[in-house]
Amino acid sequence: MTSFTPRVFSGVQPTGNLHLGNFLGAIKRFVDMQHSHECIYCVVDMHAITVWQDPAELARNTREVTAAYLAAGIDAKKHIVFNQSQVPQHAELAWVFNCVARMGWLNRMTQFKDKAGKNAENSSVGLYAYPNLMAADILAYHATHVPVGEDQKQHLELSRDIAQKFNNDFAKSIKGAGFSDGFFPLPEPLITGAATRVMSLKDGSKKMSKSDPSDLSRINLADDADTIARKIKKARTDPDPLPSEEPGLKDRPEAANLVGIYAALADKSKAEVLAEFGGSQFSAFKPALVDLAVDKLGPMGSEMKKLMDDKSYIDNILAAGSARARTIAEPIMQDVKKIIGFIRS
Ligand code: AQP
């Protein structure tokens, strides 16, 4: 098998209401990965338009996700931060993958079923083909590792299937082009930590989500300290004290969620958090969680606001990052064209 340099790629959609789930499941882990890997972090604006977006809001939200990356500690000089639509290779490779992926594969995607609901006939073709674009995002850079929340696991498996099928379908041509065995890596999902699926604060059976109509269901990264405190105080719980060990969280989704959030924010395991708070009532645990959340998220929220006041600073970061991203993606796309048999001038 061809050996690939380890490279991290991931992205967040600029669809507004960036929340604690996006932070703990993705952005916080992007920050960690940059110490050990070469990283490419994208604001996936082309994914966002699979559902209609107000143009002014899309631009604002693109800057907001960029500000969140920077405020969380991503180093845009050392690593690459950019928005997807400034790098045309994503769309080019996505078309190739539209022709590699099978309808049957996409028909199994639960996110499309959840998002389209009973309205599938009226959904955009882009929403249906979304996972092919996601595969292109990753594979346009030969990325090997993809930190994501648990909800993206199925899409990542599809990316691997697409990479594998391309490698098989074009095996002879790939060898002919000088690649010893396989052109695309099979990217590995990195779904780790205590909060890979942060749940709604109002309903422990539902994922914390940008599109939940209740703002009380989520902590937004832009929330101020008072709002964070109010939302945690109002979070749904059950009447029992916290257990001392993890099996005690079974069938207690709201308790499990708050413990997971605490653990992820404190960089501890759930077991460690329960060893500290086991036997405590929520009336004691929630104030500790408020202090921790305000301590960790407050400075980031203020930094995001500051960055958002300087549009041209953010736009320059995206322009520079996009230029660097293109220099990686362009030669890979040229090889794809050669492998497929497209004539190039
Ligand atoms: N609740 C979550 N817990 C952990 N990780 C999460 N992610 C999203 N929600 C949670 C992770 O955040 C990254 C970026 O997600 P996205 O912006 O690409 O899209 P999304 O998953 O569609 O976000 P939402 O909030 O869930 O939006 P809607 O309301 O549209 O469904 C991904 O790595 C994702 O796993």
Q: Tell whether ligand 1 has an atom less than 6 A from the beta carbon of residue 21.
A: yes
Question: How far is the C-alpha of 31 from the C-alpha of 213, rounded, in Å?
Answer: 29
The contacts of residue 206 (CB under 8 Å, 6+ apart) are: 199, 200, 212, 217
Catalytic-labelled residue, pool 115, 165, 175, 268: 115
Query: Which residues of the chain, if any, have pLDDT below 70?
Result: 1-2
Q: What SS3 state is found at 98?
A: helix
Give the pairing type, strands 7-12 and 38-43. Answer: parallel
Q: Which CATH number applies to 7-196+311-340: 2.60.120.10, 3.40.50.620, 3.30.420.40, 3.30.70.2190?
A: 3.40.50.620
Q: Could you give phi then psi for residue 12, rounded to 5 degrees?
A: -135, 140
Question: How far is the C-alpha of 140 from the C-alpha of 316, rounded, in Å?
Answer: 23
User: Domain spanning 215-306: which CATH class is it, in words?
Assistant: mainly alpha
Per-residue confidence (pLDDT) for residue 90, from 0 to 100: 98
Q: Where are the beta strands (DSSP E) in 157-313?
A: 188-190
Q: Tell whether ligand 1 has an atom less than 6 A from the beta carbon of residue 62.
A: no
Direct distance between the N- and C-terminal alpha carbons of the chain, in angstroms, rounded to an integer: 30
Name beta bridge partners: 10.
Answer: 41
Catalytic-labelled residue, pool 165, 175, 202, 210: 210
Tell me whether domains 7-196+311-340 and 215-306 share a fold. Answer: no
198 C-alpha vs ligand 1 centroid, how far in Å?
Answer: 9
Catalytic-labelled residue, pool 207, 231, 270, 286: 207
Domain range summary for the chain, segments of one domain joined by +: 7-196+311-340, 215-306
1 C-alpha vs ligand 1 centroid, how far in Å?
Answer: 33
Per-residue confidence (pLDDT) for residue 100, from 0 to 100: 98
115 labelled catalytic = yes
**pLDDT tens profile 246-267:** 999 999 999 999 999 999 999 9
| DSSP code at position 86 | G
Question: How far is the C-alpha of 295 from the C-alpha of 222, rounded, in Å?
Answer: 14
Nearest CA to ligand 1 atom 12: 22
Question: How far is the C-alpha of 330 from the C-alpha of 63, rounded, in Å?
Answer: 25
